[in-house]
Amino acid sequence: MEKHVVDGLREVFQSGRSRPLLYRKQQLRALHRLITEHQADIEQALKQDLNRNTYNTSLFELIGIENDIKLAESEMADWAAPRPVKKNLNNALDDVYIKPEPLGVVLIIGAWNYPWALILQPLVGAIAAGNAAVLKPSELSKHSADLMKELLPHYLDKEMYQVVTGGVPETQELLKQRFDHIFYTGNSTVGKLIMEAAAHHLTPVTLELGGKSPCYIDKNCDIAVACRRITWGKFANCGQTCIAPDYILCEPSIQDRIVEEIQKTLQEFYQKDPKNSPDYCRIINTRHFDRVLALMNECPIALGGESDPSQCYIAPTVLRDVLPHFKIMQEEIFGPLLPIVTVNGLSEAINFINTREKPLALYVFSSDKTVIKRMLTETTSGGVTVNDVLMHYTVDSLPFGGVGNSGMGRYHGRHTFDQLSHHRGCLIKSFAMESLNDARYPPLTAARLRKAKFFMQHRLCSCSAVCAWAIIATILAVGLLVGLIVVLIEVKGFKTYTMALLNS
């Protein structure tokens, strides 16, 4: 079945249907209609999957998708246009440019924590770039996956874009097929399997993974504001966000203050009992509930800790005096647990971060520019936000992606278009001025090598064709002038020799 789907999409793609920009814009507008006309259905599906309310669905998923669609529609012509490049004298008269082209058939495998955004945002870039696409939503967010499969054929060209639902067997069968790009969002364990499967066909991959994103709180900052922002970013979607602050690093002297400020913020956000708050989500299923709950073992609980397996509910929980060897520090939490690890100053915090896998995100809270500069200079991460959390994700002009164990490749806005395009290098040369090519033809001599080196090593700085012609004409004129002088010298020398003979 999966092979039939992929082969069918490839056949339609190769017909050239998606080449015109008008077609791509029509598909993007149709996708926007799907979102706006079925917003209530999407919200209901996410309520069933994650107990997420209407406002959080709009804030964390739908607004971002709509923004990406509008941006792609308005900027697509510019993104897809040939991109001129700098030239040297050797190709000064040629047309030299980069031509973005569709890759072909793209596989997009989404994650369950944001099941609409993590499928449809890459799809926006795939459509804008002119690709066909197979969408594989996570089976864990079942209501969203089923709704997506039901709705998409009513809006998008079903011969170019199809949804495949199911679990591990269906995903494995898809990965046996030849795609032109695989875009996967999830964890690093599955990411390695995706990359291994892609290697069989030499298929390029984008892996949007995760990891333990550190959050350093400097004692020289507004701790109340810092904790308010961290609390929002950590416990939104019940902590099931790939760029949520995974743990806090701070000096022991401010640990109690941090716990106190987070407690105040939790009271403000979710009232006395988060279990009854309409703004607090649930763990996706019992397997993940048990996994997250087990991470609390051996950790001193400062706040929260309550749970209810019948609802997959775990309260917003802060853990204090957590040691690096604890189990909770060995894997991504992906739940509403916030460990605090104490360090003796900035240098120790930087060392703590650098001795672990490169994170998807890094957060720094400080009013000291020196602290901020050192964190930015001496660490690395997929992205970074200073004095806030998550917000770099919302800037569509910034590339979003991981580094090392947290992923490879990037997307959002134009970056998605570029990631899912082939940047074809093009050079168009005329048949004129063949004499300029003599330097590369046999018989090769030292003089010809000097000429070739001169033309190849002198770059033109944004010169127009007219300027290029002027430069080459000047070079040729100088060459002709030198040749004429040589001839005159030789003629004068011959005349002198003849007169000497006559007078002898």
How many CB atoms within 10 Å of residue 357?
A: 16
Tell me if 73 sits within 8 A of 21, measured CB to CB.
no
Catalytic residue among 215, 242, 250, 281: 242
Task: Tell me whether residue 281 is one of the annotated catalytic residues.
Answer: no
Three-state secondary structure call for residue 499: helix
Tell me if 237 sits within 8 A of 115, measured CB to CB.
no
Cα end-to-end distance, the chain, whole Å: 103
Nearest residue to 313 (alpha-carbon basis) of 290, 340, 331, 339: 290
Q: Are strands 407-408 and 205-208 parallel, antiparallel or unpaired?
A: antiparallel
Instruction: Tell me the backbone φ, ψ of residue 215, rounded to 5 degrees.
Output: -135, 105
Two tokens, residue 331: 């894997």
Residue that has been written with the tokens 């000291």 in this structure: 368
Catalytic residue among 2, 66, 208, 332: 208
Instruction: Tell me the backbone φ, ψ of residue 205, rounded to 5 degrees.
Output: -130, 150
Two tokens, residue 344: 């003796």
Q: How many angstroms separate the CA atoms of 237 and 336, rounded?
A: 9
Q: Which amino acid is at 116?
A: W
Tell me if 333 sits within 8 A of 239, measured CB to CB.
yes
Tell me if 131 sits within 8 A of 102, measured CB to CB.
yes
Nearest residue to 274 (alpha-carbon basis) of 308, 300, 226: 308
Q: Residue 326, exposed/middle/buried by CB under 10 A (0-12, 13-18, 19+)?
A: middle
Nearest residue to 382 (alpha-carbon basis) of 364, 401, 363: 401
Helix (H) or strand (E) holding 459: strand 459-460
Tell me if 299 sits within 8 A of 292, measured CB to CB.
no
Q: How many angstroms separate the CA atoms of 238 and 427, rounded?
A: 53
Instruction: Tell me the backbone φ, ψ of residue 302, rounded to 5 degrees.
Output: -95, -35
Half-sphere exposure of 211 (CA within 13 A, CB side): 27
Is the peptide bond between 443 and the residue preceding it cis, with omega within 30 degrees of 0?
yes
Tell me the DSSP string of 151-209: HHHHHS-TTTEEE---SHHHHHHHHTS--SEEEEES-HHHHHHHHHHHHTTT--EEEE-
How many CB atoms within 10 Å of residue 124?
A: 29
Q: How many angstroms separate the CA atoms of 16 and 23, rounded?
A: 11
Three-state secondary structure call for residue 239: helix
Task: Tell me whether residue 208 is one of the annotated catalytic residues.
Answer: yes
Q: Residues with catalytic annotation?
A: 208, 242
